[in-house]
Amino acid sequence: MKVTVFGSGYVGLVTGACLAEVGNDVVCMDIDPGKIDLLNGGGVPIHEPGLDVLIKRNRAAGRLRFTTDLDLAVAHGLFQFVAVGTPPDEDGSADLQYVLAVARGIAERITDYRIVVNKSTVPVGTADTVRGAIQAVLAGRQAAVEFDVVSNPEFLKEGAAIEDFMKPDRIVVGTDNPRTTELLRALYAPFNRNHDRLVCMDIRSAELTKYAANAMLATKISFMNELANLAECLGADIEKVRVGIGSDPRIGYHFIYPGCGYGGSCFPKDVKALERTARDVGYAAQLLRAVEDVNERQKLKLYEKVEGYFKGDLGGKTFALWGLAFKPNTDDMREASSRVLMEALWAAGAGVRAFDPVAMAEAGRLYGERADLVLCESPEAALRGADALIIVTEWNMFRSPDFDLIKASLSHPVIFDGRNLYDPVRVKALGLDYYAIGRGDSLQGGAA
Ligand SMILES: NC(=O)C1=CN([C@@H]2O[C@H](COP(=O)(O)OP(=O)(O)OC[C@H]3O[C@@H](n4cnc5c(N)ncnc54)[C@H](O)[C@@H]3O)[C@@H](O)[C@H]2O)C=CC1
Ligand SMILES: O=C(O)[C@H]1O[C@H](OP(=O)(O)OP(=O)(O)OC[C@H]2O[C@@H](n3ccc(=O)[nH]c3=O)[C@H](O)[C@@H]2O)[C@H](O)[C@@H](O)[C@@H]1O
């Protein structure tokens, strides 16, 4: 089948590459010529495991093309997937300018039936807005062209995006036209062989389903972080509590890891946008507000521990920082906890020696050259000349470090662990101070 995907970011590239992989003829369109040139030159603009191989194979087979040409994009696909960004506006609501620009671009060019499939995360009612925008342009053109607008939210996780797309838990399709359901069922058939994963519903429910999923996951994390903070006050260990509650299948082990806050381009943005949607319809979504507040506070947790340990005297200190990305297996630093931490350390006059296996270039792009940030070539190099070690992202390579080397490298033998990677008893037995999240540690003692 012929497919066009607008937006060659995390979702657009994965969608395009995976649909090409199962035999479709895919054109990916983006307005960023730099991105398209890179892709046409064999590069991949993001770090996503397995994506480079998929793109290479399908480009070589002629099933996957990249373009900035809107005419070509609209002429190509029966399915016109919209996978452009929906960043938060100043008031927290989702900014629909990119989605609507695509809709208008399609409307200005279509000559026969198209299905506009919205994969971007958009507020309830957006499909109606998109339909209205297309109709207005068609009316201006005095063109009577048939089209449908479908909601098909995406649930992939960065770092595991190919696997998530290829083996989805569910494929949510929101439509008001049974014909489009059948066409989408056919398109998704290769991902739907084991059992029927298509969950069909009306458009508004599909749009809300996406926010409900992200808000529920964010709620689980904030709940655990709240409990972790309470555990700290009470001298309990949240990791024991996590296992204790996760064993109840009604609760489950997934997404109950406490830490230094959730980041990424989606949870923070989507929780805010849903709360804003609620406010717009006169409903005060108290739980959503609390989820976000707890997370913002949690992102400062490591800083507070460091500040407490050094009794507020951070000026001139240097901190080794392991992990910059908002989670492992991605170079994405959007809303990353590392950013909140680094910016707080800098404001207090401290410097950072940072290492991340893949997000170094992104950190360089975000912060440029500055005296208080040294991007180091290895975790060990980051330790050199540092006062203490802070861990923000749970990359596998940080899970079993050389603790003797850490101890020997730091002027203060202390680890602040935002992801609870180590056994506190073992680390302390090796002569290191260890402060994690919700593990009964306290700030008594502090820097000598
Ligand atoms: N990143 C993720 O893991 C997930 C993201 N989503 C949602 O998917 C949407 C896209 O997210 P990402 O892929 O992360 O965004 P992104 O920022 O990585 O990529 C968006 C792309 O759209 C392009 N673009 C903007 N206007 C355009 C236009 N008029 N025509 C063609 N291309 C245009 C941009 O140049 C950019 O390359 C968002 O609504 C997001 O909430 C949903 C599930 C997962
Ligand atoms: O809409 C989206 O964009 C996507 O948002 C999340 O995916 P993603 O942001 O890529 O990453 P997650 O694995 O969900 O992690 C998000 C954040 O939560 C944190 N987290 C996750 C799990 C946990 O138990 N504890 C915790 O603090 C991670 O460290 C990370 O900062 C959802 O998991 C996807 O289903 C969804 O499609």
Q: State the catalytic residues.
A: 266
Per DSSP (E only), the strands in 161-243 are 171-174, 198-201
Distance 231 CA to ligand 1 centre (A): 38
Tell me: pLDDT of 162 over 70: yes
pTM of the model: 0.95
Q: In the chain, where are the structural domains located?
A: 2-201, 211-297, 299-435
At residue 89, the pLDDT reads 87
Give the mutation target among 4, 8, 10 for probing the ligand 1 site: most ligand atoms within 8 A of CB. Answer: 10
Ligand 2 within 6 A of 165 CB? no
Mean pLDDT over the full length of the chain: 96
**pLDDT tens string 332-351:** 999 999 999 999 999 999 99
174/376 Cα distance (integer angstroms): 47
Write out the chain in H/E/C secondary structure.
CEEEEECCCHHHHHHHHHHHHCCCEEEEECCCHHHHHHHHCCCCCCCCCCHHHHHHHHHHCCCEEEECCHHHHHHHCCEEEECCCCCECCCCCECCHHHHHHHHHHHCCCCCCEEEEECCCCCCCHHHHHHHHHHHHHHHHCCCCCEEEEECCCCCCCCCHHHHHHCCCCEEEECCCHHHHHHHHHHHHHHCCCCCCEEEECHHHHHHHHHHHHHHHHHHHHHHHHHHHHHHHHCCCHHHHHHHHHCCCCCCCCCCCCCCCCCCCCHHHHHHHHHHHHHHCCCCCHHHHHHHHHHHHHCCHHHHHHHHHCCCCCCCCEEEEECCCCCCCCCCCCCCHHHHHHHHHHHCCCEEEEECCCCHHHHHHHHCCCCCEEECCCHHHHHCCCCEEEECCCCHHHCCCCHHHHHHHCCCCEEEECCCCCCHHHHHHCCCEEECCCCCCCCCCCCC
At residue 90, the pLDDT reads 85
Distance 264 CA to ligand 1 centre (A): 13
Give the mutation target among 5, 11, 32, 86 for probing the ligand 1 site: most ligand atoms within 8 A of CB. Answer: 11
According to CATH, the superfamily of the domain at 211-297 is N-(1-d-carboxylethyl)-l-norvaline Dehydrogenase; domain 2 (1.10.1040.10)
At residue 241, the pLDDT reads 97
Mean pLDDT computed over 103-128 = 97
Ligand 2 within 6 A of 395 CB? no
Q: Which two tokens stand for residue 122?
A: 């958009």
321 and 382 Cβ atoms separated by less than 8 Å? yes
Residue whose CA is closest, atom 41 of ligand 1?
121
Distance 8 CA to ligand 1 centre (A): 7
299-435 has the same fold as 2-201:
yes
At residue 91, the pLDDT reads 85
Ligand 1 within 6 A of 11 CB? yes
Distance of CA 12 to the CA centre of its chain: 14
SS3 80: strand
339/331 Cα distance (integer angstroms): 13
Ligand 2 within 6 A of 298 CB? no
Tell me: pLDDT of 445 over 70: no
SS3 262: coil
Looking at domain 2-201, which CATH architecture does it have?
3-Layer(aba) Sandwich (3.40)
Residue 4 bridge partners (DSSP): 27, 80
ipTM: 0.98
CATH number 2.60.120.10 is the correct assignment for the domain at 299-435: no
At residue 428, the pLDDT reads 93
